[in-house]
Amino acid sequence: MSETGKPRKQIILGAYLGGVNHHTLWQLPEAGSQIDFSSFEHTARTAERGRFDFFFLAEGLALRERDGQVFDQDVIGRPDTFTVLASLAAVTEHLGLAATINATFNEPYELARQLATLDHLSGGRAAWNVVTSFDAFTGQNFRRGGFLDRSQRYERAGEAVALVRALWDSWADDAIVADQASGRFLRGPDDAGRLPGQFEHHGNQFDVRGRFTVPRSPQGHPVVLQAGVSPQGRDFAAASSDAIFSPFTRLDEAQAYYRDIQERAARLGRAPGSVKILPSGSFVLGDTQAEAEEKARWVRDQQVTGKTALILLEQIWNRDPSSYDPDGPLPDVEPDVAAPPFIQGRALLDADRVGWANRLRARAEEHGFTLRETVIDQLSRAEFVGTPQQVADRIDDFVQQDGSDGFIVGSHLVPTGLDEFVDRVVPLLQERGSLRTEYTGTTLRDNLGLAVPERRAAEPEPALA
């Protein structure tokens, strides 16, 4: 039992491999490759050694550009998500493999097939982090272009997830008989007259039919993850996902979000605990608190050079900031909300540029920060800084107090950054009884404590949105 008197929650841990932003310190001599398979293998094996639930891979479908030129200052370039995860399935045994895959620039039939295949090939360890996009810049890399109006973003995503789930349900668990003696390979049509894999769906976004090729996978449905902050996004995530990435790492905000999602999920008829909440966090460890803080300061200085500070600021102001001094004050002009985005291929954290700029100004004034100090303060703080004991305590307390159900953790150092978390923090979490010492389930769903969704053989609802 925890101090609050409630049963102790088991912390869910995911691992991410840093890249494609200023948090990853490629400049360090010990920094390794961002593309060699060995980097992914090392991080995944380390996560498995630490009894993590899953390895998480982000995705971006266009290289970032600044003012029409490929961005050259941070890590850039990444592998194909599904391919790397399928390869990681060969070198891990228990670790979940979570793929961030865009529902806009992929078709449900192919997606359902790739995810179900990954689930088979990993023995039930596949997860899908559903993201949507509607930007014309990324669209230029695809046949269909930036075809989707922003207003249809959730409609398409909702219908895509529903259709993918219907395809996963199109084969019964026992559809393959494979009786060599009688020569019967497949079970015959079901009560509705459908052969294994047969499906039909007519919705606003998709009008499809045929026979799905992948028989039902070990998890039935791979685990579905989503992010959701806006009310619409929260409802969508609460309705159709198994876990949600939360942007909140301050306990009070996080608890409010946690409650809100659980209430929304309950209203939608979902069982308590069937939606897990997972913020992401980076960490810096030291033997003493002072040492950890000193190191965290050094990491921040490396991450946010004057040049990086200007570029991060430029995303908010949408203006060329090169005339400003990083060690001087914030720009006195207002953000340019009319111009096309100066930086392409990067999601903006807050679409309200003017409001965001004003918050930064207030913060700078309050603390007497320079431009660069303001950026460091707002955009580049490690969530967990301290001794291993302090970090373990903070993570555990956060989870036990319902700030979340766990964390996705990563480091500024690729690929070995996770090692010290596993070596030094994980044993303490295990000592507290909040993290498994051995895997107990065989699938990711088992390990997360999620039920297998009941197979729905009937016609799927056209859309959730």
Judged by CB under 8 A, the chain residues 291 through 320 that form the site for another protein are 305, 307
Nearer to another protein, 286 or 326 (CB): 326
Pick the binder of another protein from 141, 232, 288, 289 (CB under 8 A).
141
Q: Mention every residue, 6+ apart, whose C-beta is less than 8 A from residue 212.
A: 109, 112, 113, 167, 170, 171, 197, 198, 199
Q: Which of 281, 423, 410, 416 is nearest to 17 (CA)?
A: 410
Name the phi and psi angles at 180, rounded to 5.
Answer: -65, -35
With beta carbons less than 8 A apart as the criterion, state whether 222 and 243 touch.
no
Residue whose tokens read 């000193």: 294
Q: Site residues for another protein, window 28-67 (CB under 8 A)?
A: 35-37, 41, 60-63
Distance separating alpha carbons of residues 326 and 44, to the nearest angstrom? 38
Does residue number 401 form part of the binding site for another protein (CB under 8 A)?
no
Does residue number 90 form part of the binding site for another protein (CB under 8 A)?
yes
Bridge partner residues of 129 (DSSP)? 100, 225
Nearer to another protein, 50 or 345 (CB): 345
Bridge partner residues of 16 (DSSP)? 56
Pick the binder of another protein from 43, 122, 219, 390 (CB under 8 A).
122
Size of the site for another protein (CB under 8 A): 76
Bridge partner residues of 384 (DSSP)? 283
Q: Site residues for another protein, window 175-234 (CB under 8 A)?
A: 175-176, 178, 180, 183-188, 195-197, 206-215
In the complex, the smallest distance separating the C-beta of residue 345 from another protein, rounded to whole angstroms, is 9
Q: Specify burial of residue 157 (Cβ count, 10 A radius: 0-12, 13-18, 19+).
A: buried
Does residue number 140 form part of the binding site for another protein (CB under 8 A)?
yes
Distance separating alpha carbons of residues 64 and 67, to the nearest angstrom? 10
Does residue number 107 form part of the binding site for another protein (CB under 8 A)?
yes
Pick the binder of another protein from 21, 46, 114, 240 (CB under 8 A).
114
In the complex, the smallest distance separating the C-beta of residue 288 from another protein, rounded to whole angstroms, is 30
Pick the binder of another protein from 105, 257, 398, 421 (CB under 8 A).
105
Helices (H) and strands (E) in the chain, counts: 15, 16
Nearer to another protein, 212 or 398 (CB): 212
Nearer to another protein, 72 or 366 (CB): 72
Question: Which of these ranges, 100-108, 265-273, 290-298, 348-356, lies near another protein under the rule CB under 8 A?
Answer: 100-108
Does residue number 174 form part of the binding site for another protein (CB under 8 A)?
no
In the complex, the smallest distance separating the C-beta of residue 160 from another protein, rounded to whole angstroms, is 12
Pick the binder of another protein from 32, 121, 424, 432 (CB under 8 A).
121
Does residue number 79 form part of the binding site for another protein (CB under 8 A)?
yes
Report the C-alpha dihedral over residues 81, 85, 86, 90, rounded to 10 degrees. 160
Pick the binder of another protein from 83, 204, 232, 437 (CB under 8 A).
83
Nearer to another protein, 63 or 452 (CB): 63
Report the C-alpha dihedral over residues 94, 98, 99, 101, rounded to 10 degrees. 150
Task: Check residue 148 and give left, alpha or beta (phi > 0: left; psi -120 to 50: alpha).
Answer: beta
Nearer to another protein, 110 or 325 (CB): 110
Q: How many CB atoms lie within 10 A of CB 280?
A: 17
Task: Check residue 402 and give left, alpha or beta (phi > 0: left; psi -120 to 50: alpha).
Answer: left
Nearer to another protein, 27 or 323 (CB): 27
Pick the binder of another protein from 106, 274, 401, 416 (CB under 8 A).
106
Does residue number 117 form part of the binding site for another protein (CB under 8 A)?
yes
Show contacts of 135-139: CB within 8 Å, 24+ apart.
135/344, 137/62, 137/65, 137/341, 137/344, 137/345, 138/61, 138/62, 138/105, 138/345, 139/105
In the complex, the smallest distance separating the C-beta of residue 126 from another protein, rounded to whole angstroms, is 10
In the complex, the smallest distance separating the C-beta of residue 337 from another protein, rounded to whole angstroms, is 26
